[in-house]
Structure 1
């Protein structure tokens, strides 16, 4: 085995973060995932059937983080996957299409479902996708910003086609998750004698799915646009 391969093989993963993509069908969830995970965009992309996921390993604050990103079909007939899909998620990207008002109007419903099934303190980013179609835009940025601020969500407008803000959006969510988890670890260390505190984190790695770590409170919100 070559030294470079050995280095990759021996790479230590400090954290595994599960992120879910939700939103109506055809808003570009799969394209956002393909752009972030593989830097690809497929004009002939077909609707996702059931659940798919991709992984990408990157460095956040000198720690190696493996993002496990889950993508589900937005069609109602796949709603049965809900509980298993959300289990263990510490981040979520709530996506709408800036050219389809209905997809934005459904955001509240998706957010309610997310909060019903996921950890109360999951890090959530609202994403207005297809910013490259600016002339067809029907969802004003201010409407989305107002909703994000009211619901304490992060917010960005993206274009999977042009790769605008895609990496920034995912990195923002991953960085915030890391910040919350690190804070939780410090609290656990400081209060290790308190009942139940040792269960907040097992070592430093979050293993998903099958484990639902708390992700800590967050009072700030971030509303950046392209």
Structure 2
């Protein structure tokens, strides 16, 4: 039986190639890490569920986008159908940090008039000696963009779950406030089946079967 969930959030990972988006997703969804990672071609898909509060399970549909320019026309089609975005840069590669604003601007323009909930991720925090971006700089960028900032390491499994949980909670809180709602033709947020609804559905199925049997006996 499929895991029951109250809502499904579609979240997209954004950032230059080699910043470690795939490593973050594999650590978060499968609990594994590999030093060897093939470049993402187009878009890859992952999934995991989180219990946000008692009785509320959120299914995360996670999309890993290619950072290379030649795949940009493919990945932009996924922007509009996402409610959340992780803006990822490599703490040891300053250019990836400098490109964060470009990613934020590009996505924000593609989803107008709607908005996306972002979180800024400084990845590869385990390589502190090779660091090229200070925490103060990253926190200032996050403040300028009006979003949270978290430093992560897929290799050491540092703050990986926390980053996804913070983004999920931010989206959920905005839903409770009515600032994010489900929309026809939009896959960013979908309502799911609760156990009660599923039980009613199963009961109705049984009732229909009983009715069919009864009609054959009349």
Q: Identify which of 173, 177, 180 aligns with 2:174.
A: 180
Offset of residue 70 of structure 1: 0.2
Offset of residue 84 of structure 1: 1.8
Q: Partner residue of 1:72?
A: 65
Q: Partner residue of 2:32?
A: 40
- Gap regions ≥5 residues in structure 2: 190-218
Give CA-to-partner distance per residue, 1:3-29, whole Å, 9 cap, x none. Answer: xxxxxx164210000000000000000
Q: Partner residue of 2:15?
A: 23
Q: Is the 8 A contact 2:12 2:62 kept in 1?
A: yes
Offset of residue 212 of structure 1: 5.3
Q: Partner residue of 1:92?
A: 85
Q: What is the TM-score when the length of structure 1 is the normalising length?
A: 0.78
Aligned to 2:41, the other structure's residue is in SS state coil
Judged with a 3 Å threshold, the aligned counterparts in structure 2 of structure 1 residues 145 and 15 are, in CA distance, closer, same or farther, namely same
Q: Identify which of 93, 97, 115 aligns with 1:121.
A: 115
Q: Is 1:169 matched with 2:163?
A: yes
Aligned length: 187
Judged with a 3 Å threshold, the aligned counterparts in structure 2 of structure 1 residues 157 and 10 are, in CA distance, closer, same or farther, namely closer
| In 1, Cα distance between equivalents of 2:83 and 2:147 | 14
Runs of 4+ deviating beyond 6 Å: none
Q: Is 1:109 matched with 2:97?
A: no
| In 2, Cα distance between equivalents of 1:184 and 1:69 | 23
Q: Partner residue of 1:4?
A: none
Aligned to 1:43, the other structure's residue is in SS state coil
Q: Is 1:60 matched with 2:52?
A: yes
Q: Partner residue of 1:81?
A: 74
| In 2, Cα distance between equivalents of 1:159 and 1:115 | 27
| In 2, Cα distance between equivalents of 1:99 and 1:21 | 19
Aligned to 1:65, the other structure's residue is in SS state strand
Q: What is the TM-score when the length of structure 2 is the normalising length?
A: 0.81
Give CA-to-partner distance per residue, 1:70-128, whole Å, 9 cap, x none. Answer: 00110000001133211221110000000000000111100101101236431100100
Q: Partner residue of 1:6?
A: none
> If you compute each CA radius of gyration, which structure gives the higher value, 1 or 2?
2
Give CA-to-partner distance per residue, 1:164-202, whole Å, 9 cap, x none. Answer: 0000000000011111112118x9xxxxxxxxxxxx446
Q: Partner residue of 1:223?
A: none
Aligned to 1:68, the other structure's residue is in SS state strand
Aligned to 1:160, the other structure's residue is in SS state coil
Judged with a 3 Å threshold, the aligned counterparts in structure 2 of structure 1 residues 82 and 96 are, in CA distance, closer, same or farther, namely same
Q: Is 1:148 matched with 2:132?
A: no
Q: CA RMSD in A?
A: 1.9
Aligned to 2:178, the other structure's residue is in SS state helix
Q: Partner residue of 2:215?
A: none
